[in-house]
Amino acid sequence: MEQRYLELLAHRFVNKQEVISEIINLKTILSLPKGTEFFFSDLHGEHSAFLHLLKSASGVIKDKIDLLFQCQLSSLEREKLAHFIYYPQKQLELLPLQGTLRKRWYEKTIIYLIQLAKFCSTKYTRSKVYKKLPKEFAYIMQEMLSCYESEYMLDYYHQIIVSLLEINCIEIFMISLCEFIQRICIDYIHIIGDIFDRGPRPDLIIDELMTYDQVDIQWGNHDISWMGAACGQPALVANVVRIALSYNHLDLLEIGYGINLRALSDFAREVYQTDSCLSFQPHVLDKNKYDKADLDLVAKMYKAITIIQLKLEGQLIHRYPNDYQDKVIWLEKIDFQSKNVKFMTKTYPLKDDFLPTVSHVTPLILTKKENQLMETLIYSFQKSQRLQNHIHFLYTHGHMYKTMNQNLMFHGCIPLDHNGNFKEILIQGKILKGKALLDELQCIAKRAYYEHKQEDIDMMWFLWCSSSSPLFGKSQLTLFEKHFLDDKHLQQENMDPYYKWIEKESTCQMILNHFGITKGHIINGHVPVRIKDGQKPIKANGLLYVIDGGISKAYQEKTGNAGYTLIFDSQHLKLAQHLPYQKSAKEGLLCLTPKVEIIQTYLRIKNKDCDIGNVLKSQINDLKELLVAYQKGIVKENSFY
């Protein structure tokens, strides 16, 4: 086995020299400071705000500019340089200078950009830096980045700039350089769930994430719902369509993913002709650019798909009675004569009693037309190549939880009982809790996608909204109650005891220990932190961070801010608190430098002290064995290719 492994390794490092240089390369990496990790959560389709956070590295680029150019540039000049780096194309279009003045500006700015690019690259190996360089300008940029500070440097730069001007490439070069700075400041991206729903274009967020090579995603309940829909789970198809319609996001469905809504819209128009669909008025936080559907029709479609979802969910609950003992099938509780709902000992009036598609005898059965339109929708979800690519990315880069560098990340919670112990949950015949529960649910989610087993696909609905799901972490999802009943008490969704217990250090430490972390942090999202009401993102004396701060526009009024980024570099753990993202008319600038709080400082953490350090150390050991094998003639050098 060992011999075969070494022979395989010899394909990659074909002789002693190659092995030796790789060992040296890996040892160098071990001694460098760790790369900067960024943690984002609950992006909820807000692509513009998220792209801004990436372009500005959540304030890190501005910090570096301030550090480097403190004495050289005024505060306004530094601000402008930062904006130029975030939005170079736009800023170049707005630049009022012409002729020689413009050329001088190019030259001055390029020199600042190169200095900054060098400064931001210092903690990475040359090879890593070069890999991030844009292909078209890699050679020139390498030259400029490796040029020593000397009296000849300016002249050398000047010559390069003159050549770029001559061939009319100066602006493209500057844009590439800015993009390089944006990218070199972000080494690793962690998404703590909920990329989808509420905001306009989660698809554009995923497109962007797919261009980074170090990304992981801890699935959120909304992500799992789209993943289940893409696997063809009917109730989840209805769910994601319902949520998109409830926020008027037709562009996402139709343009983003090519989902055919025609059958649903024809059906809704026919069934709810004059119905005002009052409880189904969509929130309009974003306008559709391409499909400017009329809101009356959207409301009808929203109502039609909600009814279908309620029927399909009722069927699921019947199919798996052991899993959903606590779920109420409201459609079966309607008294169609009195237009009331009977629940426990009470009777509640329906606030919308126009239900022409619900049979009084078999309320959970879809009508023929409902069946047909669901077939069209499910087919569209399964055949949308772009959606399937995105879901594939969520599967290959995603998890129920992840531990890295002493941080434990997950979206919702680890279900606890009222005494603060791990709650036991019955999953497909096994009683599980804590880490084992999350591991098993991850296997199920993967099987749903890779092995297409119906029972596993149906479990994606459990993950979306069961009171026992670590991704949901609430007593119930009050869909029927919110749309058809007027009772605040019934509409309430209570949080898992986890959310109370995490205020205690001992509980957080118990969870960390359970996941093999002795000294570290829990990072989760899911629950918007209402700063306005005095809530705090840091809990249990710094052991836990809730970083759902309301990047989602829909939640900003409640939270009072526009989200967080947790940033973990080699010297600090810091929390950036963002301002709402909106374009300021003035010069097209975005005045959005976040408020940054340093939470912990460290003495330069090196790669050797991180998880990657262990991986590299074991690679070095393997390479050393290969070297010995070459030296002793056990494996032949240059024996392949």
Ligand X SMILES: O=P(O)(O)OC[C@H]1O[C@](O)(COP(=O)(O)O)[C@@H](O)[C@@H]1O
| List of residues contacting ligand X (CB under 6 A) | 194, 198, 221-222, 474, 477-478, 493, 526, 554
Say which entry of Mn ion, ligand X, none residue 46 contacts (CB below 5 to 8 A, set by partner kind). Answer: none
The residues in 211-240 that bind Mn ion, with binding defined as CB under 5 A, are 220-221
Q: Which residues of 378-394 are buried (b: 16+ CB within 10 A; e: fewer)?
A: bebbeebeebbebbebb
Give the number of C-alpha atoms closer than 13 A to the C-alpha of residue 141, restricted to the C-beta side.
28
Q: Given the rule CB under 5 A, which of 23-31, 85-93, 194-202, 563-571 is the region that contacts Mn ion?
A: 194-202
In the bound state with ligand X, the residue whose beta carbon lies nearer, of 183 and 474, is 474
Say which entry of Mn ion, ligand X, none residue 444 contacts (CB below 5 to 8 A, set by partner kind). Answer: none
Q: What is the CA radius of gyration of the chain?
A: 28
Q: How far is the CB of 226 from Mn ion (least distance, A)?
A: 12
Q: How far is the CB of 287 from ligand X (least distance, A)?
A: 18
Give the number of C-alpha atoms closer than 13 A to the C-alpha of residue 531, restricted to the C-beta side.
19
In the bound state with Mn ion, the residue whose beta carbon lies nearer, of 225 and 407, is 225
Q: Is 553 helix (H, G, I), strand (E, B) or coil?
A: helix
Which one among 37, 63, 187, 194 touches Mn ion, defined by CB under 5 A?
194
DSSP codes of every residue in 346-361: EEEE-S----TTS-SS
In the bound state with ligand X, the residue whose beta carbon lies nearer, of 522 and 592, is 522
Q: How far is the CB of 314 from ligand X (least distance, A)?
A: 17
Q: Given the rule CB under 5 A, which of 51-59, 81-89, 187-195, 307-315 is the region that contacts Mn ion?
A: 187-195
Q: Which residues of 220-247 are buried (b: 16+ CB within 10 A; e: fewer)?
A: bbbbbbbbbbbbbbbbbbbbbbbbbbbb
Say which entry of ligand X, Mn ion, none residue 34 contacts (CB below 5 to 8 A, set by partner kind). Answer: none
In the bound state with ligand X, the residue whose beta carbon lies nearer, of 527 and 538, is 527
In the bound state with ligand X, the residue whose beta carbon lies nearer, of 460 and 477, is 477
The alpha carbon dihedral of 544, 549, 551, 554 has a sign of positive
Tokens of 92: 């170049």
One-letter amino acid at 572 equals H
In the chain, what is the straight-line distance between the N-terminal and C-terminal CA atoms, in Å? 22
Q: How far is the CB of 198 from ligand X (least distance, A)?
A: 5
Q: Is 246 in the site for Mn ion (CB under 5 A)?
A: no
> Given strand 398-399, what is the order of strands in its sheet?
398-399, 215-218, 188-191, 37-40, 564-568, 572-577, 595-601
Q: Is 526 in the site for Mn ion (CB under 5 A)?
A: yes
Q: Is 384 in the site for Mn ion (CB under 5 A)?
A: no
Say which entry of ligand X, Mn ion, none residue 428 contacts (CB below 5 to 8 A, set by partner kind). Answer: none
Q: How far is the CB of 473 from Mn ion (least distance, A)?
A: 8
Say which entry of ligand X, Mn ion, none residue 493 contacts (CB below 5 to 8 A, set by partner kind). Answer: ligand X
Say which entry of Mn ion, ligand X, none residue 477 contacts (CB below 5 to 8 A, set by partner kind). Answer: ligand X
In the bound state with ligand X, the residue whose beta carbon lies nearer, of 520 and 525, is 525
Say if residues 277 and 300 touch (Cβ distance below 8 Å): yes
Residue 243 Cα to chain centre, angstroms: 18
In the bound state with ligand X, the residue whose beta carbon lies nearer, of 412 and 520, is 412
Give the number of C-alpha atoms closer than 13 A to the C-alpha of residue 560, restricted to the C-beta side.
9
Paired residues of 597 in beta bridges: 575
Return d(Cα 532, Cα 548) in angstroms, integer.
Answer: 14
Say which entry of Mn ion, ligand X, none residue 52 contacts (CB below 5 to 8 A, set by partner kind). Answer: none
Alpha helices per DSSP H over 56-191: 60-69, 75-86, 88-94, 99-121, 126-132, 138-146, 151-166, 170-184
Q: How far is the CB of 344 from ligand X (least distance, A)?
A: 21
Q: How far is the CB of 194 from Mn ion (least distance, A)?
A: 4
In the bound state with ligand X, the residue whose beta carbon lies nearer, of 48 and 491, is 491
Q: How far is the CB of 224 from ligand X (least distance, A)?
A: 10
Pairing between strand 188-191 and 37-40? parallel
Q: How far is the CB of 356 from ligand X (least distance, A)?
A: 25
Query: What is the total count of residues that contact Mn ion (CB under 5 A)?
Result: 4
Place of tokens 């497909």: 428
- CB-based closest residue to Mn ion: 526
Q: How far is the CB of 493 from ligand X (least distance, A)?
A: 5
In the bound state with Mn ion, the residue whose beta carbon lies nearer, of 249 and 526, is 526
In the bound state with Mn ion, the residue whose beta carbon lies nearer, of 180 and 464, is 464
The alpha carbon dihedral of 281, 285, 287, 291 has a sign of negative
Return d(Cα 10, Cα 455) in angstroms, integer.
Answer: 44
DSSP codes of every residue in 424-441: PEEETTEEE-HHHHHHHH
Q: How far is the CB of 307 from ligand X (least distance, A)?
A: 17
Say which entry of ligand X, Mn ion, none residue 83 contacts (CB below 5 to 8 A, set by partner kind). Answer: none
Q: Is 552 in the site for Mn ion (CB under 5 A)?
A: no
In the bound state with Mn ion, the residue whose beta carbon lies nearer, of 221 and 309, is 221
In the bound state with ligand X, the residue whose beta carbon lies nearer, of 137 and 472, is 472
Q: How far is the CB of 409 from ligand X (least distance, A)?
A: 16
Kindly provide the residue ranges of all beta strands, DSSP E only, lying in 180-242, ordered along the sequence: 188-191, 215-218
Return d(Cα 594, Cα 571) in angstroms, integer.
Answer: 19
Q: Is 528 in the site for Mn ion (CB under 5 A)?
A: no
Which residues sit at the interface with Mn ion, rule CB under 5 A?
Answer: 194, 220-221, 526
